[in-house]
């Protein structure tokens, strides 16, 4: 880890008595209130613990104290978390108990009450890069370490991305302590980013005087802590967002620096990409170095014996050994201990954590070959009996393993291309329109897009990307939103229209007012969703983790048995050495048996699939969702806004009470003016156009604005109330008005005549919804409302049926309308007049026999069903609540993506199964060959370097297999319809 300079906290100045900054930060962050039940929590720093036995001793000592309710000791953090009854025990008693056990103790701070969290207490999610992981055993080891740290709520580690996502309480543990814990376990770690909004990372260009920088930052009110890393030229600043904004901090540092250095904001994604590039470069450098030193070994063993002059030089005796022996020993020693040092470091780390991985196998096999060769040379020098050496085995083995790791790094980098493409959508800079106190524009200024703040006015030129989510405040233009929504047709944006960051402005100049910035933008949420999905583990991966955990120890046991002479004597060649013969077989077995590919089989495929899905407008929330979707048996569709356009229009209005049509519509519109229901908006629109039929009152503004509907021409309504699943009621000019369905009127005791009933039935049979209107208990008229089907609905339903999936429709609408719509799209199973809570019950009814059920919906009323379903699919144009409850988000508001989601899931898990074949095939076929099964009958052996090549190829094969998913093309529905059976 790069060394860093820890600066003093701003506000503390240079006071040498301020103590450890981390302790000060923790002290200031804790609530110190006692609670009514008399319990109290404190943290104690403990010095002198060296192993698990020490932490167990401290825990036992604490729990033996009368009044201590709970005690937890964290060995890695050298801390104890103690909950006790303050009426029985004092802080000093806790400290004395630890010291009596033979350790030093220091009470850090009180942690407040035990029980519900104080208001405002929250956890943050941080991302950390973790280096040195080679297989599933490493992942399990790191996850286990993180989950055992006090203050960590959840930890997920991904092998394919070398990332860890940790949910932790910053009041209990800092990100630096998490990094230290990972590094103490022997892995490399660095912090990337977190959900906390109070931190900024700045790249510094130029010569930096640390003391000058410290004095600068100490003068800023609101700066809590800062740290400068001279190797990375990065300045990390933690600040109070209530006092200081990131832009004012940036501008302030630039202003006082007087040109001594330049600053730019470091994007966490750019830092990760830079690290990925350096990892690949480092692996390539190791591989080429090993190859460069291995080539002479190959020439000495294969080419030189055919060149007499050179061969005679190699056979020249120099001291106790031949020149050939000296050269081989020197070259291989460099490869073994300099280039191959990483294998020893990682192997020791794994063994220290109680696990075994690829590095253990490589280190074991190459060391055995090297040590034997050295011993053979020394034995020959002492006795004159010269045995064959196997230096080449060690060198070639390390070279091939490094080649495999380099190819794996390159391939794994390709799996995260989807994230990189999404990140690149956001422009690096933005044009900020600076205004005076009167709101007049006085100048324009180019700023980093990461410094945009809510409320900023940004100028977007033609052909440039919109830098943040916002509202158009001036101008009009067409904007291409295909990169986010998937819709290729540009959308007209005028004043008050919303725009999405990352989309492209085509023609005119726009001024937009930023509403969402940073992690709140649509694009950032999409990136976060894809990242979270890539970090998650599919259930099938548990199998791989289990196999990996027992596979390596089994192989090491076989290696030991082979090296100790388990091979039968009849296998030995004439005059063969039993130990050497067994050793070569054992090394081959150990090397080829590495389970690296097994650990990569699932995560790489899930990574690529989630990226491919994002590129096609299908956002997947995790590997578990991806795995379940391939098994879907029923797809339940909501009707309004899902199968239909969700844009209701009034097609007919019939009056039954002799009232004037205009007066009737005015009455209905006045009753519906306070409702947010889509049908209410349709009625208002229809009534308004009827009322202003001559066009004299039409304006150039929005005709959908509710304030226009209410202005002037509507009656005043009082005692308004919306009745879920029924309609609305209110009082207008002393008259009680009801607008809704049959149930509303029937429950109110209003008679529905045969004439009205026949008219409503006729509407419903033509897939329209009949809205009945009553005034003072008399039914006065009916409105017919139609919501046209989405053009792709019929084809999608038929496509699902061809895939062997049963479509179902559930709606709160009446039976006749529901059946008419279902008949039009080809759905046989219909559930109508279902209340929002009842939709979840419908989902559960299909799950009773163990079937996997998908629910497709768009509204708040669909969220219970989306959450209850095995696979919830939210239409992207739907509400935030529906999207939050779903497993899939269909960004394009197109039902075709339901089939895309299921088809991608099936293709992904077919690829995962194939990956397991690649991962295990080399082991199943080659391990017996390496162990010598074919040697007695055919004399076939598998040299260790060939075993190393096979091991490397297994990992590369798995990753390349996953990368083939990038060629995925979503199914063309017309093709599906012509297939008899799909998958």
As a whole-number percent, the residues of the chain with pLDDT over 90 amount to 6
What's 301's DSSP letter? I
Which is nearest to 982 in space by CA: 634, 637, 618, 630? 630
Nearest-angstrom CA–CA distance, 166 and 450: 23
**Contact 523/425 with Cβ under 8 angstroms?**
yes
**Contact 199/191 with Cβ under 8 angstroms?**
no
Average pLDDT over every residue of 415-431: 70
pLDDT averaged over every residue in the chain: 75
pLDDT in tens, 33-89: 333 357 787 878 887 765 556 666 788 888 888 888 888 776 555 678 888 888 888
Task: Compute CA distances 253 → 12, 196, 323, 716, 831, whole Å.
Answer: 19, 22, 64, 58, 63
What's 644's DSSP letter? B
**How, if at all, do strands 768-775 and 778-786 pair?**
antiparallel
Nearest-angstrom CA–CA distance, 202 and 234: 6
Q: Is the pLDDT of residue 220 over 90?
A: no
Which is nearest to 536 in space by CA: 267, 884, 280, 887? 887
- Name the helix (H) or strand (E) containing 365: helix 358-383
What's 136's DSSP letter? H
pLDDT in tens, 606-657: 878 888 887 787 888 777 778 888 889 999 998 877 888 877 788 889 998 8
Structure confidence at residue 528 (pLDDT): 66
What is the SS3 string spanning 200-244? EEEEEECCCCHHHHHHHHHCCCCEEEEEEECCCCEEEEEECCCCC
Cα 883-478-618 angle, rounded to 5 deg: 25
As a whole-number percent, the residues of the chain with pLDDT over 70 amount to 70
pLDDT grade for 268, boundaries at 50, 70 and 90: low
Q: Is the pLDDT of residue 383 over 80?
A: no
pLDDT grade for 151, boundaries at 50, 70 and 90: confident
User: Which residues make beta-bridge pairs with 164?
Assistant: 128, 157
Strands laid side by side in the 262-265 sheet:
5-6, 223-229, 234-239, 199-205, 262-265
Strands laid side by side in the 441-448 sheet:
441-448, 429-435, 457-460, 510-516, 469-474, 498-499
Q: Is the pLDDT of residue 116 over 50?
A: no
Structure confidence at residue 959 (pLDDT): 79
pLDDT in tens, 238-249: 777 767 777 888
Lowest mean pLDDT among 8-17, 114-123, 577-586: 8-17
Q: Which residue has the higher pLDDT, 131 or 908?
A: 908
Angle between helices 578-592 and 896-931 in degrees, nearest 10:
180
**Contact 772/745 with Cβ under 8 angstroms?**
yes
Cα 799-803-805 angle, rounded to 5 deg: 95
Task: Compute CA distances 24 → 6, 29, 106, 430, 443, whole Å.
Answer: 14, 9, 14, 38, 43
Q: Is the pLDDT of residue 574 over 70?
A: no
Structure confidence at residue 583 (pLDDT): 64
pLDDT grade for 981, boundaries at 50, 70 and 90: very low
Q: Is the pLDDT of residue 358 over 60?
A: yes
Q: Cite the active site residues.
A: 638
Lowest mean pLDDT among 342-351, 357-366, 674-683, 885-894: 357-366
Average pLDDT over every residue of 455-479: 89
pLDDT grade for 109, boundaries at 50, 70 and 90: very low
Q: Is the pLDDT of residue 939 over 60?
A: yes
pLDDT in tens, 703-736: 344 344 444 678 888 888 888 778 899 999 889 9
Helices (H) and strands (E) in the chain, counts: 34, 37
Strands laid side by side in the 68-74 sheet:
68-74, 79-85, 39-47, 104-110
**Contact 98/80 with Cβ under 8 angstroms?**
yes
pLDDT grade for 883, boundaries at 50, 70 and 90: low
3-state secondary structure of 882: helix
Q: Is the pLDDT of residue 738 over 90?
A: yes
What's 181's DSSP letter? H
Structure confidence at residue 95 (pLDDT): 86
Nearest-angstrom CA–CA distance, 109 and 28: 9
936: exposed, middle or buried (Cβ count in 10 Å: 0-12, 13-18, 19+): exposed
Q: Is the pLDDT of residue 403 over 50?
A: yes
Whether the CA torsion 334, 337, 341, 347 is positive or negative: it is positive
Average pLDDT over every residue of 564-571: 57
Which is nearest to 200 in space by CA: 249, 160, 242? 249
Whether the CA torsion 971, 976, 979, 983 is positive or negative: it is positive
Structure confidence at residue 189 (pLDDT): 80
Q: What is the CA radius of gyration of the chain?
A: 35
The structure tokens listed for 320 are: 């106790």
pLDDT grade for 965, boundaries at 50, 70 and 90: confident
Average pLDDT over every residue of 9-32: 32
Lowest mean pLDDT among 239-253, 341-355, 412-426, 596-610: 412-426
Whether the CA torsion 762, 767, 768, 772 is positive or negative: it is positive
Q: Is the pLDDT of residue 252 over 60?
A: yes
**Contact 319/378 with Cβ under 8 angstroms?**
no
**Contact 136/544 with Cβ under 8 angstroms?**
yes
The structure tokens listed for 249 are: 């901090």
Lowest mean pLDDT among 632-646, 650-664, 672-686, 950-964: 950-964
Phi, psi at residue 21, to the nearest 5°?
-60, -40
Phi, psi at residue 380, to the nearest 5°?
-65, -40
Residue ranges in 21-174 assigned as alpha helix (H): 21-29, 52-63, 91-100, 136-147
Q: Is the pLDDT of residue 17 over 80?
A: no
Prediction pTM value: 0.55
pLDDT grade for 807, boundaries at 50, 70 and 90: very high
Q: Which residue has the higher pLDDT, 737 or 942?
A: 737
Structure confidence at residue 774 (pLDDT): 94
Q: Which residues contact 966 (CB under 8 A, 6 or more apart)?
A: 414, 417, 608, 611, 612
Lowest mean pLDDT among 627-641, 722-736, 867-881, 969-983: 969-983
Average pLDDT over every residue of 767-777: 88
Q: Which residue has the higher pLDDT, 807 or 270?
A: 807
Nearest-angstrom CA–CA distance, 173 and 150: 7
Structure confidence at residue 585 (pLDDT): 67
Whether the CA torsion 443, 448, 451, 455 is positive or negative: it is positive
Q: Is the pLDDT of residue 415 over 60?
A: no
Nearest-angstrom CA–CA distance, 84 and 63: 10
Q: Which of 312-321, 708-717, 792-801, 830-839 has the highest mean pLDDT?
A: 792-801
Nearest-angstrom CA–CA distance, 300 and 305: 7
Structure confidence at residue 413 (pLDDT): 62
Q: Which of 57-71, 319-333, 951-965 has the highest mean pLDDT?
A: 57-71
State in Å, rounded, how far the first CA of the chain is from the last one: 49
Structure confidence at residue 362 (pLDDT): 75
pLDDT in tens, 424-461: 677 878 898 888 877 788 888 888 888 888 888 899 99
**Contact 150/74 with Cβ under 8 angstroms?**
yes
């Amino acid at each position: 880890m790069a060394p860093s300079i820890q600066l003093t906290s701003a506000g503390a100045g240079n006071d040498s008595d301020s103590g450890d900054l981390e302790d000060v930060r923790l002290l200031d962050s804790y609530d110190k209130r006692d609670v009514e039940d008399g319990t109290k929590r404190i943290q104690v720093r403990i010095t002198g613990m060296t192993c698990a036995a020490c932490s167990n001793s401290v825990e036992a000592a604490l729990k033996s104290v009368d009044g201590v309710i709970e005690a937890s000791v964290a060995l890695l953090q050298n801390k104890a978390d103690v909950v006790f009854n303050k009426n029985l025990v004092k802080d000093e008693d806790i400290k004395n108990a630890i010291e009596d056990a033979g350790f030093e103790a220091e009470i850090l701070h009180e942690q407040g009450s035990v029980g519900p969290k104080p208001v405002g207490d929250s956890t943050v999610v941080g991302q950390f890069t973790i280096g040195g992981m080679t297989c599933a055993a490493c992942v399990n080891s790191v996850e286990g370490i993180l989950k055992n740290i006090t203050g960590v709520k959840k930890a997920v580690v991904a092998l394919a991305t070398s990332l860890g996502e940790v949910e932790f309480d910053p009041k209990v543990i800092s990100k630096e302590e998490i990094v230290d814990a990972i590094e103490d376990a022997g892995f490399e770690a660095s912090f990337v980013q977190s959900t906390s909004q109070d931190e900024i990372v700045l790249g510094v260009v130029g010569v930096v005087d640390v003391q000058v920088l410290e004095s600068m930052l100490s003068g800023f009110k609101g700066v809590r802590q800062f740290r400068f890393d001279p190797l990375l030229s990065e300045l990390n600043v933690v600040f109070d967002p209530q006092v200081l904004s990131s832009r004012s901090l940036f501008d302030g540092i630039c202003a006082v620096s007087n040109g001594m250095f330049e600053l730019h904001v470091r994007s966490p994604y750019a830092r990760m990409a830079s690290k990925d590039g350096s990892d690949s470069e480092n692996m390539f450098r190791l591989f080429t170095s090993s190859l460069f030193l291995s080539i002479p070994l190959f020439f000495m063993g294969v080419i030189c014996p055919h060149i007499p002059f050179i061969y005679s030089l190699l056979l020249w005796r120099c001291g106790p050994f031949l020149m050939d022996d000296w050269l081989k020993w020197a070259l291989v020693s460099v490869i073994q201990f300099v280039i191959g040092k990483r294998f020893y470091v990682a192997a020791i780390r794994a063994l220290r954590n109680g696990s075994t991985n690829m590095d253990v196998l490589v280190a074991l096999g190459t060391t055995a070959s090297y040590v034997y060769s050295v011993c053979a040379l020394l034995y020959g020098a002492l006795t004159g009996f010269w045995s064959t050496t196997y230096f080449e085995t060690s060198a070639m083995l390390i070279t091939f393993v490094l080649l495999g790791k380099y190819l794996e790094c390159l391939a794994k980098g390709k799996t995260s291309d989807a994230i990189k493409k999404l990140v690149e959508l956001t422009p690096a800079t933005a044009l900020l329109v600076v205004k005076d106190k009167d709101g007049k524009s006085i100048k324009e200024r180019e700023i980093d897009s990461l410094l945009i703040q809510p409320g900023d006015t940004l100028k977007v030129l033609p052909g440039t990307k919109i830098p943040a989510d916002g509202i158009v405040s001036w101008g009009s233009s067409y904007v291409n939103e295909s990169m986010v929504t998937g819709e290729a047709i540009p959308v007209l944006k005028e004043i008050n229209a919303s725009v999405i960051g990352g989309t492209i402005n085509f023609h005119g100049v726009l001024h937009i007012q930023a509403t969402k910035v940073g992690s709140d933008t649509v694009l950032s949420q999409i990136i976060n969703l894809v990242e979270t999905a890539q970090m998650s583990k599919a259930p099938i991966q548990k199998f791989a983790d289990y196999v990996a955990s027992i596979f390596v120890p089994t192989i090491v046991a076989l290696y030991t048995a082979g090296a100790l002479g388990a091979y039968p004597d009849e296998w030995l060649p004439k005059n063969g050495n039993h130990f050497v013969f067994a050793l070569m077989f054992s090394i081959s077995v150990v090397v080829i048996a590495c389970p690296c590919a097994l650990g990569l089989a699932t995560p790489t495929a899930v990574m690529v699939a989630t990226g491919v899905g994002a590129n096609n407008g299908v956002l997947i929330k995790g590997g578990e969702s991806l795995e379940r979707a391939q098994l879907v048996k029923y797809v339940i569709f909501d009707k309004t806004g899902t199968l239909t356009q969700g844009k209701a229009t009034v097609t007919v209005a019939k009056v039954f009470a002799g009232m004037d049509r205009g007066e009737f519509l005015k009455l209905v519109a006045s009753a519906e003016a306070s409702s947010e229901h889509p049908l209410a908006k349709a009625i208002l629109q229809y009534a308004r156009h009827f009322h202003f039929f001559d066009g004299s009152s039409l304006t150039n503004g929005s005709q959908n604005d509710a304030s226009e509907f209410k202005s002037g021409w509507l009656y005043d309504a009082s005692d308004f109330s919306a009745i879920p699943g029924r309609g609305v009621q209110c009082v207008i000019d002393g008259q009680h008005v009801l607008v809704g369905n049959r149930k509303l009127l029937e429950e109110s005791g209003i008679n529905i005549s045969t004439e009205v009933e026949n008219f409503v039935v006729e509407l419903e049979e033509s897939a329209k919804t009949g809205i009945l209107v009553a005034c003072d208990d008399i039914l006065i008229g009916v409105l017919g409302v139609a919501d046209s089907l989405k053009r792709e609905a019929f084809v999608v339903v038929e496509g699902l049926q061809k895939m062997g999936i049963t479509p179902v429709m559930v709606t709160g609408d009446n039976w006749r309308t529901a059946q008419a719509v279902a008949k039009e799209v080809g759905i046989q199973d219909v559930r109508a007049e279902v209340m929002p809570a009842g939709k979840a019950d419908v989902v559960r009814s299909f799950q009773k026999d163990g079937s996997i059920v998908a629910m497709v919906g768009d509204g708040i009323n669909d969220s219970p069903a989306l959450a209850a379903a095995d696979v919830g699919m939210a239409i992207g144009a739907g509400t935030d609540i529906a999207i939050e409850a779903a497993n899939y988000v269909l960004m394009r508001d197109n039902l075709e993506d339901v089939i895309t989601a299921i088809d991608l899931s099936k293709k992904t898990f077919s690829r995962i199964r194939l990956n397991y074949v690649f991962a295990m095939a080399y082991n199943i076929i080659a391990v017996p060959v390496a162990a010598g099964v074919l040697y007695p009958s055919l004399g076939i052996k598998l040299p260790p370097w060939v075993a190393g090549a096979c091991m490397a190829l297994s990992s590369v094969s798995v990753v390349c297999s996953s990368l083939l998913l990038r060629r995925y093309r979503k199914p063309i529905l017309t093709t599906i319809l012509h297939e008899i059976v799909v998958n």
